[in-house]
Amino acid sequence: MSITYKDEAGIAGMRVACRLASEVLDYLTPLIQPGITTLEIDRLAAEYMKQQGTRSATIGYQPSGYPPYPGHLCTSLNQVVCHGIPNEKPLKKGDILNVDVTVITPEGWYGDNSRMFMIGGEAACSIQARRLCHITFEAMWKGIAMVKPGVRLGDIGHAIQTFAESNGFTVVREFCGHGIGQRFHEDPQVLHYGRPGTLEELKPGMTFTIEPMINAGKRDIKELGDGWTIVTKDRSLSAQWEHTILVTPTGYEVLTLSAGSPPVPAFVSQAPATV
């Protein structure tokens, strides 16, 4: 596979797909409360996608060596790092949950994004859980803020890694961000750790995700027997945030923004691009 550079029509297609993916999370946000199950969240998301005219990219998704993924989205709770499968267990006050939504538009463009939810509100969560969610959000934005033509993927990874580790957390290495377009996972791989000045150079028209998985304990992970769910080996908490980004001639545009997206951190200087 190789990197696809989007032309104006492709960029337009990605803007739509990504806004719709973000709007699924906006729709779910007020519903994600103590007592709801992740399977109910999954069902509500599936109905909303149908109303949008999109469909889930995850249901039935089957990379080689994996069983077909059974959910319309991923719900990764507490020590689950990623790819958590929706189930019938009610959410509890103090849980932290990542909801990861990828949609496909009728034109075939993919939009991919995820957010953390502190169940029962911030005050219901431990100080460590709150810090982990906030630092992971900022780590994603440290990576995003690097994006412009000429910068290399290693610069992005380095920015994320140094920020996460200087805050006492660790970066999961087995999963990464990815190019995205008319396929779910394209080149390049976007590592969330690395060395400055290394790896692929960014060019206008590239679209990729930045989606750091940050652990409160050690970085090691293990896969559960369902073939999908990834947990921290030491059972420490894990958090993740994800946006899909376009490289523009002068910097970047965050494509997965909508009315309900959390505010951009103060350290980000570029005015967010508007369509």
Task: Copy the structure tokens of residue 205.
Answer: 């028209």
Contact status: 112 vs ligand MF3 (CB under 6 A) = yes
Spell out the SS3 assignment of 136-198: HHHHHHHHHCCCCCCCEHHHHHHHHHHHHHHCCCEECCCCCEEECCCCCCEEEEECCCCCCCC
Query: How many whole angstroms separate alpha carbon 222 and alpha carbon 49?
Result: 31
Task: Provide the minimum distance between the beta carbon of 58 and ligand MF3 in the complex, in angstroms, as a whole number.
Answer: 3
Q: Which residues pair with 112 in a beta bridge?
A: 102
Q: How many other C-beta atoms are found inside a 10 Å radius of the C-beta of residue 227? A: 13
For ligand MF3, which is the closer residue by CB, 6 or 83?
A: 83
Only one of the segments 6-14, 61-69, 159-167, 203-211 lies at the binding site for Co ion (rule: CB under 5 A); that segment is 203-211
In 3-152, which residue ranges form alpha helices assigned H by DSSP? 8-28, 38-52, 127-144
Question: Rule CB under 6 A: which of 235-254 touch ligand MF3?
Answer: 242
Note whether 157 and 168 are within 8 A (CB). Answer: no
Selection from Co ion, ligand MF3, none that 61 binds (CB < 5 to 8 A by kind) is: ligand MF3
Closest CA to 82 of 104, 62, 99, 96: 99
Contact status: 115 vs ligand MF3 (CB under 6 A) = no
Query: How many whole angstroms separate alpha carbon 233 and alpha carbon 37?
Result: 24
**By rule CB under 6 A, what string of x and - marks binding of each residue 126-165 to ligand MF3?**
----------------------------------------
Selection from ligand MF3, Co ion, none that 163 binds (CB < 5 to 8 A by kind) is: none
Binding residue for Co ion, selected from 23, 42, 100, 253, defined by CB under 5 A: 100
For ligand MF3, which is the closer residue by CB, 35 or 68?
A: 68
Question: Rule CB under 6 A: which of 166-225 touch ligand MF3?
Answer: 209, 211
Contact status: 112 vs Co ion (CB under 5 A) = yes
For ligand MF3, the binding residues (CB under 6 A) are 58, 61, 69, 74, 83, 100, 102, 112, 209, 211, 228, 242
